[in-house]
Structure 1
Amino acid sequence: MRAFAAGGTGIPGRTGVPRPGRPEKPEEALAGEFEELRPLLFSIAYRILGSVAEAEDAVQETWLRCAESPTRPDSAKAFLSAVVTRISINVLRSARVRREEYVGPWFPEPLLTDPYQDPERSAELADSVSMAALLLLERLSPLERAVFVLREVFGFGFPEIAAAVGRSEAACRQLAVRARRHMDAGRPRFEADRRERDELAGRFFDALARGDVDALRESLAADVQLVADSGGKAPQWATGFFGAERVTQVIATLVPPFLRIGGVVQPHQVNGQPGAIFRDRAGGVVNTWGLDILDGHIQAIRTVSNPDKLDHVGPVADAFAVLRDTQQAHRHDAH
């Protein structure tokens, strides 16, 4: 991810590390605190926005505002978290209009690695970044979403949340209750065990590589859905494919010839869940797949092929050309 490239801070003209042999200046200390908190700030912004690029921009804007502030905050964490939250709320409000006009289904930008880790909140962090959870968060108002993320995911106290969103503590508690009610209503009744989930995903991708149609079908729920987010800028799969037989047919038709023309299916965690990155023969990113697994079966396969949402993953392939070559290989096999 661009903002977390090794050896750089992403702050023009600042390394965050004081030069040896001279006292540390206040702005250098502030830059150092910012760099330590950057993973947290990005993780807050991403969960509010569902966009890697917008979250990175929100973090950078947070630094600019912090650097321009004439005073040093008592708590850098509270201050910077509040600033990035306010920025993210404003961006989300304008983004809602664009998403209403979006071509086809809208999914969050795939996140391969969450830069923020906290062993005490690992379960909340992993759950909150999944595609399913982020799509549930889309149902909330921007304020509800921000309050839920700060409270339920990162464990902020209501005084800090109130300062961040510009509402009273009582109002924030009400927002938190409403948000939790909406989220709980949309969650699946049974969560998959992480080890069992990963094992099932492994069997699924092994079957994919072997072209084992029966094993593929067995791994899918009867009402499984395969849905793609192309944004009108990559091949669009109508409104999606539904049911184990139809989804198996689509996968068995497209994936084997894709592999024969040099395509690669690279299993990889996507938004904290089992998934894969599809690459063309040159290594360009065609799309990502994310799997929703519950009750021992794959319930949904969500693919992101909109090139605007993939450039942080790597160089993006020409998905139309890849599909054309894949279909040509399939027709050749049929004859």
Structure 2
Amino acid sequence: MDKTEEFVELRPLLFSIAYRMLGSVSEAEDAVQETWLRYDATAVRPVSAKAFLSTTVTRISIDVLRSARVRREAYVGPWLPEPLLDDPYEDPARAAELADSLSIAALLLLERLSPLERSVFVLREVFAFDFEDVAAAVGRTQAACRQLLVRARRHMEDGRPRFEADREERDELARRFFDAMAQGDLEGLQSLLSADVQLVGDGGGRAPQLPRAVAGAENVARLLAAAHLPMARTGITCTPCRINGQPGALFRDRDGNVLRTFALDVLDGQVHMIRSVINPDKLTHLGPVADAWAVDREVRQARRRPV
């Protein structure tokens, strides 16, 4: 197998590592591309392509993560990871575990970790690398990596996300949720929301966004139900799908351009969290992006029209 074939075979794993490290599709893709360039430039073939490539993408991601933290401190409003529809790394035996590690809730928890803690946690806990390879990837001793993992686990356990165990039940509740939203069914929506549900939006100052999180079943239900008529009048469509391994939806304008995503956290038969990404910079990998400001103006006009 030549270098190109080795890289293509391992690319899904490399992207999955980088995305969980960075929470950004575009930055993960850049890290994977830089990994290929370094691999292609090596004069001597490494004994293990997987070890070399995983180490390289991890170290690149650590460097990117350190600079990204400075940018995120100046981010306008809540910061959410870039939504991902499909994880290219498939392992049927660990599908549920990998999906939970991909969730927006899990990625936000990873933001609490230092770059080294995050890399050790991702490699060891998510992808089951042995400590020898983890240590080589982050440039620390195995003993140091074990300590980093202990600290990372402690931080993660403090807020580890819980989800409905049955995937079919999660999907069924999400279907009912989006049906109620499409019909403007206030009571139906409220019955599906937990009392302390929150709706959080990420516009990054690049699109219309909520000034703050909306909390409480009644408030969230009223906001979502009120969106029914303007959405219908302006041709906005909502297509349920999986966002970061969890139930969600993709919203498009009348021309089919991506407007926003919704991701739901479902537990005990209710929606506990709704996270919406409308920042166009975070949606370009999903297809042509809508002009959110223009859509917002149209929606506002639609609200003023008599029924």
Check whether TM > 0.5: yes
Amino acid at match of 1:177: V
For the pair shown, the structure with the greater C-alpha radius of gyration is 1
Name structure 2 gaps, 5 residues minimum. none
* Structure 1 residue 191, shift from structure 2 partner: 4.5
SS in structure 1 at match of 2:285: coil
Q: Answer yes or no: is 1:185 the counterpart of 2:158.
A: yes
Structure 1 residues 324 and 192: alpha-carbon distance in aligned structure 2, compared to 1, 3 A threshold: farther
SS at match of 2:276: strand
Matched letter for residue 172 of structure 1: C
Q: In structure 2, what residue type is equivalent to 1:108?
A: P
The match for 1:222 is 195
Q: Residues of 1 paired with 2:174 and 2:157: CA distance?
A: 25
Gaps spanning 5+ residues in structure 1: where? 1-27
Superimposed CA distance per residue, residues 132-156 of structure 1 (whole angstroms, 9 cap, x where no aligned partner): 0000000000000000000010000
CA distance in 1, matches of 2:51, 2:259: 39
1:66 aligns with 39
- Cα 1:94–1:128 change in 2 (3 A) is same
Question: Could you tell me which residue of structure 1 aligns to residue 93 of structure 2?
Answer: 120
Q: Aligned letter for 2:81?
A: P
User: Partners in 2 of 1:101 and 1:144 — Cα distance?
Assistant: 23
Name the aligned partner's letter for residue 86 of structure 1: R
2:180 aligns with 207
1:189 deviation in Å?
A: 5.8
Once the two structures are TM-superposed, the CA of residue 188 in structure 1 deviates from its matched residue by: 4.2
Report the alpha carbon displacement of residue 193 of structure 1 after superposing the two structures with TM: 2.4
- C-alpha distance in structure 1 between counterparts of 2:114 and 2:302, whole Å: 47
1:278 positional shift: 0.6
1:161-187 CA-to-partner distances (Å, cap 9, x unmatched) read: 000000000000111111111111102
Counterpart AA for 1:256: L
User: Residue 51 of structure 2 aligns with which residue?
Assistant: 78
CA deviation profile, 1:8-29 (whole Å, cap 9, x unmatched):
xxxxxxxxxxxxxxxxxxxx70
Note if contact 1:121-1:153 (Cα within 8 Å) is conserved in structure 2.
no
Which residue of structure 2 aligns with residue 328 of structure 1?
301
Give the structure 2 partner of residue 273 of structure 1: 246
Dislocated runs of 4+, deviation >2 Å: 188-193
1:232-276 per-residue CA deviation (whole Å, 9 max, x = no partner) reads 000020112111111111111123311222110011110000000
Which AA in structure 2 matches 1:170?
A
SS in 2 for 1:277: strand
Write the distance in 1 (CA, Å) between the matches of 2:72 and 2:258: 23
* Partner deviation per Cα, 1:32-82 (whole Å, 9 max, x = no partner): 000000010000000000000000000000000001111101111111000
Rounded to whole Å, the distance in 1 between the matches of 2:240 and 2:256 is 14
The amino acid of 2:236's aligned partner reads: G
Q: 1:274 to 1:190 in 2, by over 3 A?
A: closer
- Asked if 1:46 corresponds to 2:53, the answer is no
What displacement does 1:202 show? 0.8
SS across alignment from 1:155: coil
- The answer on 1:98 being equivalent to 2:99 is no
Q: Structure 2-normalised TM-score?
A: 0.97
Select 2:2's aligned residue among 11, 29, 36: 29
Task: List per-residue Cα deviations over 1:166-220 (Å, max 9, x = no partner).
Answer: 0000000111111111111102466442221111101111112222221111111
Correspondence for 2:171 among 177, 183, 198: 198
Q: 2:144 is matched with which residue: 154, 164, 171? A: 171
Residue in 2 that maps onto 1:148: 121
CA distance in 2, matches of 1:110, 1:119: 22
Which letter does structure 1 place at the counterpart of 2:253? D
Distance 1:255 1:168 in 2: 56
Relative to 1, partners in 2 of residues 1:190 and 1:47: Cα closer, same or farther, differing over 3 Å? closer
Name which of structure 1's ranges 181-190 and 308-317 shifts more when overlaid on structure 2. 181-190
- The answer to whether 1:305 aligns with 2:278 is yes
CA RMSD, aligned part only?
A: 1.2
Q: Deviations over 1:102-135 (max 9, x none)?
A: 0000000000000010123222211110000000
Give the total of aligned pairs.
Answer: 307
Give the SS at the match of 2:96.
Answer: helix
Say if 2:101 and 2:107, in contact at 8 Å, map to a contact too.
yes
The CA distance in 2 between the partners of 1:256 and 1:164, in whole Å, is: 53
Answer yes or no: is the 8 Å Cα contact 1:33–1:76 preserved in 2: yes
Q: 1:120 to 1:293 in 2, by over 3 A?
A: same
C-alpha distance in 1 between matches for 2:161 and 2:264? 14
TM-score (norm 1): 0.89
